[in-house]
Amino acid sequence: MGRELVCIPCTHRGGKNLRPFAVLIRQVSQLTRPIRQRALWLLLAGFAGSAVLIGTLWPLSELPSGRNTPLSVQWRLYPPDILRNLILFGVPAAFTRRWKTQHVLLTAALVSISIESLQNLIPGRVPSILDVLANVLGAWIGHHVTVWYVNAPAERWRKHRALYLGWVAITTLALVIAPVAFTPHLPVTPWYVHAPPQLGHLEPYSGKLLEAKLNGQPVQNGPLPVGVLASDFSIAHRLEIRGEAGPLPSQLSGLFYITDDSGREVALLGLQGTNLFYRLRSLGDHWGLESPRLWWRGAFPAELDRGAAFVVRVEQSNTETCLEVNRRRQCRRAVPFQESWQLWLPSRALGVDVDHELGRWWLMALFLPLGAGYRPRTFESCLLLWPISALMIAPWLGPISYPTPENIAFMALAFTLGQGGAAWMRSHNKASQLFG
């Protein structure tokens, strides 16, 4: 009954005495195998669930609301954001292959709605119905792909080594799309200054603006000269606004606004409550994406008297970005504004969400299937060079910092989980080897 046990000590003198122990070890192994498999399944499922909670409920602001005056960048890159939400619920759905489809959809909807509701209480998080829809769709895709994968004939998968290449290409492309979307896009066309802007989507500022300077040159409502002024603006610029305070606006109110000849936004300096707002147009604007928004919470004192003088300065250089209100100054490491192919990257120092949610998840998405499919063979060893090469050039292409011990740990964790998951599936004989 069963397969014959191969016992190396049994092949030499005295081996017969060891056979009972070997048989005992095999029997114990067979008895504990369901427990070990269950433990591994729970470990992987726990990791997937933790990834969902960390990815959706981790605070994105460096300091909770109301503490000090942090300067932060907020941005939403919609295609990668939707893709991330699909993956975030699609991966855990792989552990629901024995569930009915309606149960998967109902559970995903309830979990996602609960998460979005909790995000109202978490600094830096913004709930969105689009996230709920993407989460439910991701769970549905993950559930059905897993069922199809488990039931697929082994011969079919031996012919699809290129699947991993496609996965790497997609994740690498996602890495490249993000910085390209934030490339400064300042058209060489006539610009127009609005100080203060009188536009329908901005609340009129009830204070008084006395003077506006751009790169040291006074500017007024109307056409803004291009040439050296526009060129300097795209690389480094300095904006100064002097005025008299009015009641703090409850909605976003513009202090200084630049548009192109089509009426599209180039730059906006605004105020909402006590918070100062600054945004510069990026290439992503053409793709329906939001440009990064620089917020300084609590920049304007709430007790500022009506009619009191104020001075607001925005200074951008290759080393730092600074906002200043009445000699109170907040500076952060600069997002480099340069010409040609050099990209405007929301760096880790500016946007915590970029480092935590895009960089690390990209690394894990890259190395998890690598761990699942890797074998010590020439072909798979060559594939290993792809993600490593992508990782080495990533600091120059996307919002991921140079490899740090933390990032290396995330890669190792993803690789190990991939190896463990593949071993578990092979032990059940329900998933064929992806690489033959």
Give DSSP secondary structure letters for 362-403.
HHHHHHHHHHHH--SSHHHHHHHHHHHHHHHHHHHHSS--S-
For residue 85, tell me if it sits in a domain: no
Give the contacts of 275 (CB within 8 A, at least 6 positions apart). 295, 296, 297, 298, 299, 300
Residue 371 and residue 252 share a domain: no
pLDDT for 417: 78
pLDDT for 241: 92
Write down the pTM of the prediction: 0.48
For residue 410, tell me if it sits in a domain: yes
Strands of the sheet with 191-194, listed across from one edge:
71-74, 293-296, 275-280, 265-272, 253-259, 191-194, 222-224
Residue 426 and residue 379 share a domain: yes
For residue 87, tell me if it sits in a domain: no
For residue 321, tell me if it sits in a domain: yes
Residue 324 and residue 216 share a domain: yes
Q: Are strands 217-218 and 275-280 parallel, antiparallel or unpaired?
A: unpaired
Last residue of a domain, one of 282, 299, 333: 333
For residue 434, tell me if it sits in a domain: yes
Residue 295 and residue 249 share a domain: yes
Output Rg (C-alpha) for the chain, integer angstroms. Answer: 28
Domain with 406, as residue range(s), is 161-182+349-436
Residue 260 and residue 171 share a domain: no
For residue 140, tell me if it sits in a domain: no
pLDDT for 339: 28
pLDDT for 406: 64
Residue 177 and residue 204 share a domain: no
Residue 199 and residue 328 share a domain: yes
For residue 65, tell me if it sits in a domain: no
Last residue of a domain, one of 299, 333, 367: 333
Residue 405 and residue 357 share a domain: yes
Residue 392 and residue 319 share a domain: no
pLDDT for 310: 93
Residue 204 and residue 319 share a domain: yes
Amino acid at 180: V
Residue 369 and residue 328 share a domain: no
- Per-10-residue mean pLDDT for the chain, 436 residues long? 43 52 61 65 67 65 39 53 76 79 86 81 70 86 78 56 60 58 60 82 86 86 68 72 90 88 84 86 64 78 85 80 86 44 30 44 66 57 56 48 61 76 63 41
The residue to which tokens 């060893």 are assigned: 381
Q: How many domains does the chain have?
A: 2
Residue 328 and residue 197 share a domain: yes
Residue 9 contacts residue 15 (beta carbons within 8 Å): yes
Last residue of a domain, one of 280, 305, 333: 333
Prior bond of 196 cis (ω within 30°): yes
Kindly report the CATH number assigned to the domain that includes residue 232.
2.60.120
For residue 315, tell me if it sits in a domain: yes
